[in-house]
Amino acid sequence: MPTIVIIGAQWGDEGKGKIVDFLTEKCDYVVRFQGGCNAGHTIVVGNEKYILHLLPSGILHKNKKCIIANGVVLDPSVLLKEIDILRSKGIEVDNNLFIAKHCHLVMPYHIAIEEQMEKRNKIGTTKKGIGPSYTEKIARNGIRMIDLLYPEVLKSKIKANLELINFLLKNLYGVKSLYEEEIFNQYIEYAEKLKKYIVDTDIIINQAIDNGQNILFEGAQGTLLDIDHGTYPYVTSSNTIAGSACTGTGISPKKIDKIIGIVKAYTTRVGEGPFPTEIKDSLGENIRKKGKEYGATTGRPRRCGWLDLVGLKHALRINGFTGIAVTKLDILDGIETLKVCVGYKYGDVILEDFPKELEIFHNCTPIYEELPGWKESTAGIKDYEKLPQNAKNYLQFIEDFLKVKLQIISTGQKRDEIIIKEFPL
Ligand code: IMP
């Protein structure tokens, strides 16, 4: 019986949604364990495109149990909208959705304060209130799902938290305060709609594992956005790495069998922050257009660049990938020469490992290996042998450099546009 964790190996947007969707066929449960509606997982089923922000991607499959576990920060207004959209398309979630009692909530004042914080110190966040919600959680003032079921507790927590937030909004940022009563009434309405989903998800997940069921843990964002191991402070506010699947759900590290790193065939990043292999000329623009590299949550254009094996080596070390999936290979079709970053040069020093210092990121230059590209289209190829030789060479270079098994290659948006070299479960 395997448990499998799916993790983005770069700065998010690696195409995890499609791989999760594909592997869900073999799983009984799909679990989100960190992040919130800053995530945007795009899945194409037939002619229908779904963008999920909070619901685990497994929700698009019939009879798969989907869990939003304790490590997530949940904005009820976004979740309810998502449920309504699925319902309007004939997908019912009621029997399949479970939310942790101890999952923290995103409140309107988190979004309001983040808006102001971004004006002072721009990280380029999604402005979904994710950072301020985790801040409150760590400060031990957070409001949890279970508080929705105890109106007096909810009321007093909103009151206490708003005292501080309103003080800052009014006196530091000079903008209008928010009303306690309005927020309370809104959240009581949400409580009515969401209470049927609130359960002890840690118990459910552990029992499912003990009963031999297959569990998929669906990561959001990517390793290089991890609050501890990413390009701090240009990161998200949660741990996005495989270890987070344990803390974010309440399972032992002993219970994780497989960890798959999702690697886009090139690199993208949204928001501010270091990106040594960024391509700033028209080629970057072409990749953006061809790869439809615009944020699924914010619509912002993603910065595009060459594959960075230094970042990927870091991701491999920290996550312990048992295999990788390379996505969006077809977007590189037709590029004459492909560059792959194998080190950074900082002054006279050659760095083989991902730096911690912003100073180094800002002043280093990537060291590239150049590989010949391929003219043929790889779009929709399902058989590894049918790939152009230079595409195989490119993939082999990645595999050899990282010393990890390449198990899946995605060659298009649709479910079946995929090559399985080795089934990861
Ligand atoms: P936050 O997560 O909204 O606080 O944003 C912090 C950083 O993480 C910003 O650079 C965002 O663009 C980035 N980010 C957050 N979620 C995602 C995601 O799902 N994909 C890619 N980048 C993300």
- Min mean pLDDT across 45-54, 145-154, 335-344 is at 45-54
pTM over 0.85: yes
Cα of 261 to ligand 1 centre, how many Å? 18
Domain limits, CATH 3.40.440.10, in the chain: 3-100+199-258
Provide the pLDDT for residue 296: 83
Phi-psi label, residue 253: left if phi above 0, alpha if psi -120 to 50, beta otherwise = alpha
Q: What b/e sequence results for 296-328 when a residue is b if at least 16 CB atoms lie within 10 Å of its CB, and e otherwise?
A: bbbeeebbbbbbbbbbbbbbbebbebbbbbbbb
Provide the pLDDT for residue 82: 96
Give residue 15's Cα distance to chain centre: 9
Active site residue 104: no
- How does pLDDT run across 294-317, given as a tens digit for each residue? 988 888 999 999 999 999 999 999
Q: What integer is the mean pLDDT of 365-379?
A: 98
Q: What integer is the mean pLDDT of 228-252?
A: 98
Q: What integer is the mean pLDDT of 236-253?
A: 98
With 70 as the cut, is the pLDDT of residue 1 above it? no
Fold of the domain spanning 263-420 = Adenylosuccinate Synthetase; Chain A, domain 3 (3.90.170)
- How does pLDDT run across 106-145, given as a tens digit for each residue? 999 999 999 999 999 999 999 999 999 999 999 999 999 9
Domain limits, CATH 1.10.300.10, in the chain: 105-194
> Which amino acid residue places its CA nearest to atom 22 of ligand 1?
12
Cα of 54 to ligand 1 centre, how many Å? 14
> Which amino acid residue places its CA nearest to atom 2 of ligand 1?
236
Provide the pLDDT for residue 273: 97
Return the structure tokens found at 89.
């398309």
Cα of 47 to ligand 1 centre, how many Å? 28
> Which amino acid residue places its CA nearest to atom 21 of ligand 1?
12
Cis link prior to 233 (omega < 30° from 0)? Answer: yes
With 60 as the cut, is the pLDDT of residue 14 above it? yes
With 70 as the cut, is the pLDDT of residue 55 above it? yes
| Nearest atom in ligand 1 to 238's CA | 2
Among 21, 41, 75, 147, which one carries the catalytic annotation? 41
Task: Tell me the CATH class for 3-100+199-258.
Answer: alpha beta
| Nearest atom in ligand 1 to 225's CA | 8
Active site residue 94: no
Mean pLDDT over the full length of the chain = 96
Q: Which residue has the higher pLDDT, 47 or 150?
A: 150
Fold of the domain spanning 105-194 = Adenylosuccinate Synthetase, subunit A; domain 2 (1.10.300)
- How does pLDDT run across 280-299, given as a tens digit for each residue? 999 999 999 999 999 888 88
Q: What integer is the mean pLDDT of 332-354?
A: 97
Q: What integer is the mean pLDDT of 15-30?
A: 93
| Nearest atom in ligand 1 to 114's CA | 4
Pocket of ligand 1 (CB under 6 A): 12-13, 38-40, 123-126, 128, 130-131, 220-221, 225, 236-237, 270-271
How much of the chain, in percent, has pLDDT values that exceed 90? 92
> Which amino acid residue places its CA nearest to atom 19 of ligand 1?
39
Nearest to 57 by CA among 193, 195, 202, 220: 220
With 70 as the cut, is the pLDDT of residue 377 above it? yes
